[in-house]
Structure 1
Amino acid sequence: MLKSVVIGSKRKVEIFEHLLATVNGFDLVGFVDPDDSQNVSMLGEFMFALEIASMGDVFFVDRHVKNLPFDVICNLVKMGKHIFFDGYRNWNLGEIETLSKFKRESNVVIQIGNVLHNKPLFTAALQLVKKPRYIKLEKHCHPPETGEFAAWIHTNLYQEIDLIQRTVSSRVRSISARPMFLFGKQTDLFNIHLEFDNDAIAHITAGRAMEPGTYTLKIFQQDRLYLLNFSANELVEYRTAEQSDQLSLSADFDHPELPPELIRIDRQIMPFDTWKMELRNFGENIHNNLTPLTNLEHALEVTTTCEWAIDKVQRKYQDL
């Protein structure tokens, strides 16, 4: 049994306690909440890492924890501790590369869970998608506050860019990014245009100018479209009646009456407990030295794209 510790709030401990009770191999022995000042060692970050490292072999990190210094994570990894992150952390490229180096040296497992890529809606779509040529993401969200643009990208588009890049399975060749100011000085709409080495294209539009509730991903292939509606948890396939026909990007897929050349198929989403699957997978990765489904390499790829887009925007719009 692996002695397990949750780094997070007491509420998160209750959630993990319930989840780990259904998965073999983990023994939850305690938790520490860095956001509670009483739990932070006054001797510094290294001593704090030593203090919590003595508690267990495996650490589950709550995505909502704010006061968790990067050096504490690095020290835990160097001490040979396995870590499961509840979602992507907002790290820069240098930090991810450093953590990857320590991970290789210590031969530990660092797994990132609770991400969109591993949810039933997307895993169902991924079984159907073959050679996507054009991907379009539309999302309604609040505008970024002044000085918070980079954090806004991480909160609202990081996982979505991860989805797109892993779906295309090709390196990003070029990026263009531009904010639009429609109602005032805040970014009302943000557009990112991605081109990949395999000539696939992705376009992202996000902001408060989108219709409230909009959260869709459209994946176009030559003869069919897969529409993922994250708000409604729906997966719909549109295809041409004649297999030789090419799907038109201008077709009105949202209209209640489809053109006669289009066929709509409501695809079934197989329900499964993502958390249990990921925790079970985490244990297998530790015991068999396997690579997690979502890991630091994916974080590195997404962060590279995000920082590229942020740099392009902030070079021209310094006030964001």
Structure 2
Amino acid sequence: MTALRTAVIGVGYLGRFHAQKYAALPDAELVAVVDRDAERARAVAAEVGCRALTDPDDLRDQVDAVSIVVPTRQHYAIAAPFLEAGTHVLIEKPVTVSVAEADALVALAARHGALLQVGHLERFNPAVLEVADLVREPMFIESHRIAPFNPRGADVSVVLDLMIHDIDLILELVDRPLARIDANGAPVISRDIDIANARLQFDNGCVANVTASRVSLKAERRMRIFQRNAYLALDMQARSVEIRRRRDEADADAAPTMADIEHEQRTLEPGDALQAEIAAFLDSIRRGTRPVVSGEDGRRALEAAIEISRQLRENPLPGQP
């Protein structure tokens, strides 16, 4: 099997990990890392054993696939020429800064036969994968994603920094059109929204209550899914799943008793979500299949996140600037 020629554009905190994963995968040849900071590019290149570049244009016709791990505002400008050249692209979330840019990238990928995958990493979390076959027409979903303040993500609101992970997961789990969004939030430490809550209502009646904060005292990533005869609790940080459901043999017409409810706790192996994401990207290229998180998926999550952000700007809480 011929290794796919790959490169990573942007080798800051997260991009360095992308480079490490490509270097470790047997079906990938890491050709180069690219960063406008030449010293950083050289340091990461030395670590993973590839060339160091400072200009993405120097990769033209030299790679089959790239990871783009730069600030969101640069996503479109860097990704578009690669897609036009038929090069496959894995782009970090959010896919772009606007829905129009996302639509343009999706169209370019389709026109030039390139694969576009968006880096919504939680899709590869072991807890999420564990319940994929258990979710059946959710009626209510509750998610909390909170973390202490980190200046590294403060160039965008908490919606695009953290909440968008859960928006993507919920849209995939429910798989129905959104009928209504209501959101509230406030800046606390930064100039942008640091804590937010959104209520997503779908056309089938399902409701999701989504909370994200980057000004908390601890880190937590939890989701609870309620559906007919079952309740699923995911701890995406501890990688565990708790399942409570009505036993199959229970009388569906009778009022349930405690004996009718079975409880299961599953603690999962840690796994490596980023390696799984990159391996899935390469596998989709080889097989010619739709990526796990397509450009359309990334666009869908971005559209909802932008509407939430609009409401937060236009409907400030009392006393909020």
TM-score where L is the length of structure 2: 0.78
Q: What is the correspondence of 1:1-320 to structure 2 with a 5 Å cutoff? A: 1-9=3-11, 15-16=17-18, 18-36=20-38, 48-62=55-69, 68=74, 70-113=76-119, 115-141=121-147, 151-179=157-185, 189-207=195-213, 212-240=218-246, 242=250, 244=252, 262-269=261-268, 272-317=271-316
1:14–1:151 Cα change, 3 Å: closer
Distance 2:193 2:269 in 1: 38
1:189–1:81 Cα change, 3 Å: closer
Partner of 1:253: none
Task: Work out the number of aligned pairs and report it.
Answer: 300
**1:164, CA displacement in angstroms?**
0.8
**Which deviates more, 106-115 or 67-76?**
67-76
Distance 2:78 2:108 in 1: 12
Conserved? CA contact 2:95–2:295, under 8 Å: no
Conserved? CA contact 2:34–2:56, under 8 Å: no
**1:299, CA displacement in angstroms?**
0.8
Distance 2:25 2:215 in 1: 44
**1:179, CA displacement in angstroms?**
2.3
Distance 1:195 1:13 in 2: 35
**1:227, CA displacement in angstroms?**
0.5
Amino acid at match of 1:9: V
Amino acid at match of 1:282: F
**1:34, CA displacement in angstroms?**
2.8
Cα displacement string for residues 210-258 of structure 1 (whole angstroms, at most 9, x for unaligned residues): 774443211001222101122322200123465638999xxxxxxxxxx
Secondary structure of the 2:59 match is helix
Secondary structure of the 1:4 match is strand
Conserved? CA contact 1:2–1:57, under 8 Å: yes
RMSD: 3.8
Partner of 2:45: none
Structure 1 spans left out of the alignment, 5+ residues: 40-46, 249-258
Distance 2:73 2:308 in 1: 27
**1:102, CA displacement in angstroms?**
1.0
TM-score where L is the length of structure 1: 0.78
1:211–1:170 Cα change, 3 Å: farther
1:297–1:267 Cα change, 3 Å: same
1:94–1:276 Cα change, 3 Å: same
Cα displacement string for residues 110-155 of structure 1 (whole angstroms, at most 9, x for unaligned residues): 223461012111010112111111001123335799xx79532111
Distance 2:254 2:200 in 1: 23
Identity across aligned pairs (percent)?
Answer: 18
Distance 1:135 1:6 in 2: 35
1:38–1:195 Cα change, 3 Å: closer
**1:315, CA displacement in angstroms?**
1.6
Structure 2 spans left out of the alignment, 5+ residues: 42-53
